[in-house]
Amino acid sequence: MQVENSVRPFFVTREELTEWTHRPHQHNFFELVYIEKGSGKQCINHSLIPFAQDNIFLLPPYDCHWFELAEPATFIFIRFNALFFRKDSMQMMDYTEWFQHLHYILSSYNRQPGDIIHNTSDKHMLISLIRGIYDEYTNKRAQSDSIIRAHMFALLNILRRNFEQTFKSEHQSGDKQVNDILQYIQFNLFDNEKLRVESLAAQFNLSPKYVSEYFRKKTGENLKEYILKSRVNVAQSRLQHSDQSAKEIAYELGFTDASHMAKVIRKYYPPETTCTSKVGV
């Protein structure tokens, strides 16, 4: 599989195509795709999903993808990575910490192919932001860099809001507090301090001695087991869909080493379902 790399932290392009000539590929950056016009099918990780005008896709790093066009189509592609969110040339804003946190959300929750925005108001705002970004990037006016970064900050926060809403709708238990706890865990999945029992208790006004029992009663799952399984799901996804080594993934996700990560993954996934070329490293 061809991996497309980019040394630029941010790049925007608009392409009018009568056919898709790019080979199926992966890339080492996030790619936001806006369908300005046209229709066809998007293939991501071997799933084919129809696309149409005004659809918006977010492709995390190392997802395999391509498009099949049913008619001429126009795409706006916005490619970005973490370097783009460091302090800008004017030394005005540094979004590094914010994006590091958001990176897990963008990578972990957008696993389903297809249009990512179902709220009409949010869709209109995103389209406006995308077109504004393209205009600023193309025309390079004064303060364009800072304006583009502000647009991207708003755009990604809208995506986050939609991912949060989708997560809530898929995890309805009838109990608002336990839904809030599930969401809190997922969006702080790699922050050990925030996931300590004492921190969870303080966040949700529970007794530290009661948090684990409360979670088990409401969800039927052990709290520590749920957190570990959620982390394993992210690790498994990285192993399957990235060119990172198991050692690199284990370090980034907080496992002791690659062997420890492999052992934990095998607890939840049968050996035949794991990415054995990396898990065994």
Q: What is the pLDDT of residues 124-141, one digit of tens each?
A: 999 999 999 999 999 988
Mean predicted confidence (pLDDT) in 24-49: 81
Domain at 176-279: CATH code: 1.10.10.60
Which helix H or strand E contains 66, and what residues bound it?
Answer: strand 65-69
281 by Cβ neighbours in 10 Å (0-12 / 13-18 / 19+) ranks as middle
Q: Confidence class of residue 4 from pLDDT cuts 50, 70 and 90? A: low
Dist. CA 221–CA 228, nearest whole Å: 12
| Residue closest to 71 by CA, chosen among 130, 16, 14 | 16
* Every domain of the chain and the residues it spans: 2-169, 176-279
The SS3 assignment for 34 reads: strand
Give the tens place of pLDDT for each residue, 147-160: 998 999 899 889 88
**pLDDT at residue 92 in the model:** 61
Of 39-53, 162-176, 207-221, the poorest mean pLDDT is in 162-176
pLDDT at 36: 96
- For the chain, the average pLDDT equals 80
2-169 placed in CATH 2.60.120.280: yes
pLDDT at 280: 47
What's the pLDDT at 223? Answer: 92
User: How deeply is 162 buried, as exposed, middle or buried, from its count of CB atoms within 10 A (0-12, 13-18, 19+)?
Assistant: buried
Proportion of the chain above pLDDT 70, given as a percent: 74
> Which tokens belong to 238?
């990285």
Mean pLDDT, residues 213-238 taken together: 85
